[in-house]
Structure 1
């Protein structure tokens, strides 16, 4: 499909902008490992302090990069499958809102006015501009989604007997879930936090802001990863040389994510008071339920890959694995897909620990937690983003991709780094090593009375992993920006590998209609959050609190 000039420009901005910011996100990630391992035994480096860098690392990598990519990949996927571009009224204002919001966030973070971390927990206060910028980024993604809904209905009127392609279903599931989950955090940002940061009010309802955040914060994880799921179902079998084992299984897994993603955010609040144990038990059950579509995906994609290997002549139980296109320069995308899948096996299993009310007490606020989520966001999510950004930019811009050998080995090098980094964090976490802590000032500094020799090996492994990831990222940036600054040699186009389904399966009406699933999702959200908010209002209240990272005491109390 050919691309209009305006649509092409919008997509290219949506790829170049976040990837440029990702440089800063990666840099601050590497710096975190240097602080934690005690290589840096200081509060700040190059004018950026520990928590300022940690905020930039989390916000850029987990919110800015992932949201931009989901929007661009959604536009690209819809245009490819429906052969229609979204309306200009949707994609152009949406990108303008997102770019403006991201720039505002970047400026206030660089100036040190928003060191409230990725979770922006009250009563730690950031600049009001940070809250406004983040809200602009989120609302920009809503506008993009609205444009896609419009062309879907147009396409459906023109093709009344055609069923929704799996890739379109996955995209719509992702943004429907995202819309439902991001309304609460936008309310938190604009109605609760912004007036408080502007000193229009002295009080903030801390339990309420945290609960609103986690209505968004955990679904955000699936917002990161569902684009990769779309790729695993609709592209990976084709790339591997096979076919999708079951289209119905793919549809069911995606729809299960729609109903189970948002209600489970309370499991991040297991260690907080103000929410009844009965609610936490219900949320724990729902959280375990999220593993069902992941296990379904493991089986369906695994069977699809086995079919691909056997088509290449594999025999026996495991020979098919060796027949897959590992390290093939002419098939570089395979590495970005398969390495992400391998990492996600361990990311999913460690997530089950976090979903358990009892096991969570052991690992809460330890290095285990970032160890777990780096296996998810830095695993399948980031690897899919890196691979598809190269692929989409190449086809949209018409510019050549050189250094294909380097592009091919990057995901394998990155995977080694993530494995070591996450192992170091999780091993240290099981020994009580705290997260979000500049260990180099104390626990990994031999000159400190708080020095803990048990955390030196684990933080060193984390450091090695972080340095390997940084090396892989550096190679990626060289390859990507080399393509950005080269001259176009082909016409712009939108194309994707499309996997065929191995079996002709009977259509199941429930899997072809999103409406009942949306209704069920809303009911499940209500089953969790109506009693949660009743508890929050019963046991909590707005209080006069204001803190910053340099002062552990209540600033309002000090002023009195």
Structure 2
């Protein structure tokens, strides 16, 4: 099965190449914005604005381009590749191109107004910060385009089910459908927020907006977004990683159970981001906290399943003893460079998951809320396992669809290890500073890290300097990757065929359990909707009943309303 090749049409080949290459450019712009933030926070850059950008503009660009735009494009590209490959069905390329064009147009619209400084509203785009209407329209087009891509896969799957009655759906398809079921449900709330609140407010059609309702609708989307990031990485962990390591997936049923658990528990968790917000009853926040711990269970199952899969591979490669199998895995095999991205990400994620338990805990969250701990944690999740898996996946997809040979394999192999060193240093500095009270989303270089300021905090300086060291190492790793990626893109093709012959390293199961209760999404979607109703109906009721006045629009540069 792993050696199967599926031929994609010329149109599908070009579409998937575009969906990978253009976001890579946007990713680098976002990464540059991240480096600038680190230098601003350390006071190394004193001028604000600097080279046409300021701290909050860079913060917005970094968050939106990296965490929303790049991740959405990659998830769609991976689905466009894996689902036809696994089902042996061809994409409807007209619909797929419509999806891709909407996503591209929307991303460019949002990107332009961010670069112009007319959408400096941060990654969460909370009101009362107001953006140019083009920002909200652009994000809407990006989301709608991703919906269309998802809807395009459904007829392929239904046709496959008719032709293969009684067979288990391929794990890759289960994982990608889980990803976009979670995404579709979650984005409904943010679509409502944008279309009925933020866009009319930005256009001047309404004067004020309910900030608490907007925040609640955002976090209905915002935390499930984390699983939209993680799930494509999980697909690669379960489907590719055991094969790349030289073994098999330890348990097919465990993988399917994990994906169904994400369908159940990914949505009713958002209010744990609002522990400090007024208007929502403490009992409902506590309920969301419980569900947040529930959604940690599939990650725990994944840890044991993948460890068993890697142990099986290591022992097949000659490893002996309790831990001797670990040293036989292909960490530094240039021909299996993809493995290095996945294993490095898994190591990072162990710490990201543990730190996330702190954020989910009602009491401990009060210690780290709105401190630098939070971005430290984010960089051990979305900017750790997710980013590395997506970078490895992007390189693999581009060399498959463009029929290229990966260039600079030694450097390509080194990227995840260099990045891992950097992100551990960077995140430790942020999180340690956060415990001392160092704030997030603040240009500390102008105040707390400035010896001339009355707000100067000398006890934070060591940790701020540590974040600079880590951030620079991370940036160097990304630069190496970008050079290797585009060296591959612009290299000579191995063949001149118009179609793309694509192969994926699909893992076979060591234990292929029947898993009869895990073969249909419907009951899990129904239960998920019930859980969402039970957890969010009282929250929305509380927010609407609150007597807070609406808010006029603001910019981050002035305490005075814009009108």
TM-score range normalised by the length of the shorter chain: over 0.9
Is it true that 1:527 corresponds to 2:541 in the alignment? no
Distance 1:388 1:493 in 2: 17
- How far 1:184 moved relative to its partner? 0.7
Aligned position for 2:457: 452
Aligned position for 1:366: 371
Is it true that 1:329 corresponds to 2:351 in the alignment? no
Is it true that 1:512 corresponds to 2:512 in the alignment? no
Aligned position for 1:236: 241
- C-alpha contact (below 8 Å) 1:207/1:540 kept by paired residues: no
Aligned position for 1:49: 54
Out of 81, 104, 108, which is 1:103 matched to? 108
Aligned position for 1:498: 506
Is it true that 1:8 corresponds to 2:13 in the alignment? yes
Counterparts in 2 of 1:180 and 1:540: CA distance versus 1, 3 Å: farther
Distance 2:382 2:429 in 1: 17
Aligned position for 1:462: 467
Distance 1:299 1:156 in 2: 31
Aligned position for 1:378: 383
Is it true that 1:174 corresponds to 2:179 in the alignment? yes
CA deviation string 1:386-443 (max 9, x = no partner): 0010000001001221111000011100111111111011000000000000011011
Distance 1:177 1:418 in 2: 28
- C-alpha contact (below 8 Å) 1:205/1:543 kept by paired residues: yes
Distance 2:351 2:262 in 1: 19
Aligned position for 2:226: 221
Structure 1: runs of 5+ lacking an equivalent: none
Question: What is the number of equivalent residue pairs in this alignment?
Answer: 555
- How far 1:541 moved relative to its partner? 4.9
- C-alpha contact (below 8 Å) 2:211/2:551 kept by paired residues: no
- C-alpha contact (below 8 Å) 1:58/1:118 kept by paired residues: yes
- How far 1:298 moved relative to its partner? 0.1
SS in 1 for 2:381: helix
Distance 1:378 1:329 in 2: 24
- Which shows bigger deviation, 546-555 or 147-156? 546-555
Aligned position for 2:561: 554
- Which shows bigger deviation, 526-535 or 35-44? 35-44
Trace 1:73-472 onto structure 2 (pairs within 5 A).
Answer: 73-472=78-477
TM-score by length of 1: 0.98
- How far 1:542 moved relative to its partner? 5.4
Counterparts in 2 of 1:219 and 1:484: CA distance versus 1, 3 Å: same
Say what the alpha-carbon RMSD is for the aligned residues. Answer: 1.0
- C-alpha contact (below 8 Å) 1:170/1:254 kept by paired residues: yes
- C-alpha contact (below 8 Å) 2:352/2:380 kept by paired residues: yes
Is it true that 1:482 corresponds to 2:487 in the alignment? yes
- How far 1:336 moved relative to its partner? 0.2
CA deviation string 1:74-133 (max 9, x = no partner): 111101101112212421110010000000011000100000000000011011110010
SS in 2 for 1:448: coil
- How far 1:241 moved relative to its partner? 0.7
- How far 1:554 moved relative to its partner? 3.0
TM-score by length of 2: 0.97
Distance 2:476 2:556 in 1: 31
SS in 2 for 1:203: coil
CA deviation string 1:248-287 (max 9, x = no partner): 0110011101111111011100110000000011011100
- C-alpha contact (below 8 Å) 1:546/1:555 kept by paired residues: yes
- How far 1:555 moved relative to its partner? 3.5
